[in-house]
Amino acid sequence: MAMIKRPRKIEAYNNEALGKKRLLFTFMAILTLGILGCVEPIDFEVPEPLDQVIIQGMISDQEGPYTVFISRGVSIRPDSALNPPISNASVRLYDDLGNIEDFEEVAPGEYATRGAMRGEVGRSYHVRIELEDGSVLESLPDLLKPVGEIKDIYWEFESGTSVEIFGEVPDDVFNVFVDSDAIPEEENFMRWRMEGTFRIVTNPELFEVDRPWFDLPIPRPRRCSGYVVAPNPSGRGTIVVQERPCECCECWVNVFEDSPNVSDDRLVANGQFRNIQVGTVPVNSVSFFDKYMVSVEQMSLTRTAYDFFRLVEVQRTNANNIFQPPSGEIVGNVVSQDESVRVVGLFWASAVDRRFEFIQREDVPYPVTPPVIFPESCLLQFRNSTTERPPEW
């Protein structure tokens, strides 16, 4: 069962003090705009980064397919695309027993196995990649180590605020924690991956388009809503009527982690990981339109994979702090046979234990207001959304 800790007391704000804060913030904003308006913009050349290939992939003891993503580093310019995919590569998976399986390209830069191999604890795995130009990249073998078992997922409500242009607004969250078994007499390098899922309902039948020189928009319901514009039976104007069931009104939205979350033996006490924070859940009318599913994976790592993800985690955390010293270059375990081809990335092996829990709408310590109406397809309104109901729901 999930454990709910009682929330801390919500801070009360003095109206007069808040008014002074808003007045001061407005004055500073005007002053800043005035200063910026007097500054002549400086144009300078941005140096081109060295071209590099980026590899991301893994194999686990769970049922495949397993995927490898191949992309290329890009110029740091506003008009440049981000990580353009590399297609037409040949990707092959090997284990330490001599078994081999080829990947196939299922999307630009995305390669997947067909199901011939499945990861096993105690076996080592690596990939060999040949690009279209003949460059050969190969990962170092990575051992698939055993993983512990997640014993409990629980959460704690935390009240907070954030500053917006019009003042301070609530910014409440649930902090999510796990307790888990470690592996006796083993180096316990672990990655914790949390995924959130919430349900939402939108109203694509209310979609409208603006008309130039007219005050009122005209109805244009999305086709997936099942609604159409039809003549009004009165003979004057049009109405919106439903012809078939909506196919894009109800969605489940997936929320992924911002950066890797890893742990090592220093957090093990009496053979267990205790009180490991794996993520946060925002508390608002959208995420808690219904209940919120928290899914946590505990993933075993070798020291090489741990160091890679730890460095990624540190760089993401320190990205906005100019006072943090450089944390080192991310390299990984993929090498190139041609010294002129720079590569960064990781192909890693992991055993996985997964557990999920639901945070109920009633767990929020105050009434959750209904969300605003979204006159759009839920598939277009929310990223990483699907109309397919999760099997756990």
Whether residues 89 and 168 share a domain: the answer is yes
Q: Best-predicted range by mean pLDDT among 14-18, 81-85, 248-252?
A: 248-252
Provide the mean pLDDT of the chain.
84
Across 200-229, average pLDDT: 92
Sequence-ordered list of residues with C-beta below 8 angstroms from that of 36, at least 6 positions apart, any chain: none
Banded model confidence at residue 317, pLDDT cuts 50, 70, 90: low
Residue 318: the pLDDT is: 64
Which tokens sit at 139?
Answer: 């990962």
Which tokens sit at 243?
Answer: 């012809």
Whether residues 231 and 303 share a domain: the answer is no
Whether residues 114 and 258 share a domain: the answer is yes
Q: Confirm whether 189 is domain-assigned.
A: yes
pLDDT digits (tens, 9 = 90+) for 259-284: 899 998 777 777 889 999 999 999 99
Residue 4: the pLDDT is: 43
Phi and psi angles of residue 325, each rounded to the nearest 5 degrees, phi first: -70, 160
Nearest to 195 by CA among 125, 278, 271, 126: 278
Calculate the alpha carbon distances from 179 to 277, 303, 363, 381 in Å: 9, 22, 20, 35
pLDDT digits (tens, 9 = 90+) for 221-259: 999 999 999 999 988 889 999 999 999 999 999 999 988
Q: Confirm whether 76 is domain-assigned.
A: yes
Q: How many domains does the chain have?
A: 2
Whether residues 115 and 170 share a domain: the answer is yes
Sequence-ordered list of residues with C-beta below 8 angstroms from that of 225, at least 6 positions apart, any chain: 203, 204, 205, 207, 246, 247, 248, 249, 377
Calculate the alpha carbon distances from 245 to 125, 218, 224 in Å: 48, 22, 9
Terminal Cα distance for the chain, rounded: 17
Q: Confirm whether 25 is domain-assigned.
A: no
Select from 213, 242, 271 the last residue of a domain. 242
pLDDT digits (tens, 9 = 90+) for 341-384: 889 999 999 999 999 999 999 999 999 999 899 999 999 999 99
Whether residues 97 and 159 share a domain: the answer is yes
Q: Confirm whether 168 is domain-assigned.
A: yes
Q: Confirm whether 323 is domain-assigned.
A: yes
Whether residues 92 and 193 share a domain: the answer is yes
% of the chain surpassing 70 pLDDT: 82
Q: Which domain holds residue 224?
A: 204-242
Q: Confirm whether 14 is domain-assigned.
A: no
pTM of the model: 0.79
Of 3-7, 132-136, 208-212, 366-370, where does mean pLDDT reach its minimum? 3-7
Residue 23: the pLDDT is: 40
Residue 320: the pLDDT is: 54
Q: Confirm whether 66 is domain-assigned.
A: yes
Distance CA 143, CA 124 (A): 4
Whether residues 226 and 156 share a domain: the answer is no
Select from 225, 242, 259 the last residue of a domain. 242
Whether residues 223 and 366 share a domain: the answer is no
- Of residues 80 and 61, which shows the higher confidence score? 61
Whether residues 234 and 263 share a domain: the answer is no
Q: Confirm whether 24 is domain-assigned.
A: no
Whether residues 79 and 145 share a domain: the answer is yes
Does the pLDDT at position 74 exceed 80? Answer: no
Residue 319: the pLDDT is: 57
Whether residues 227 and 374 share a domain: the answer is no
Whether residues 236 and 274 share a domain: the answer is no
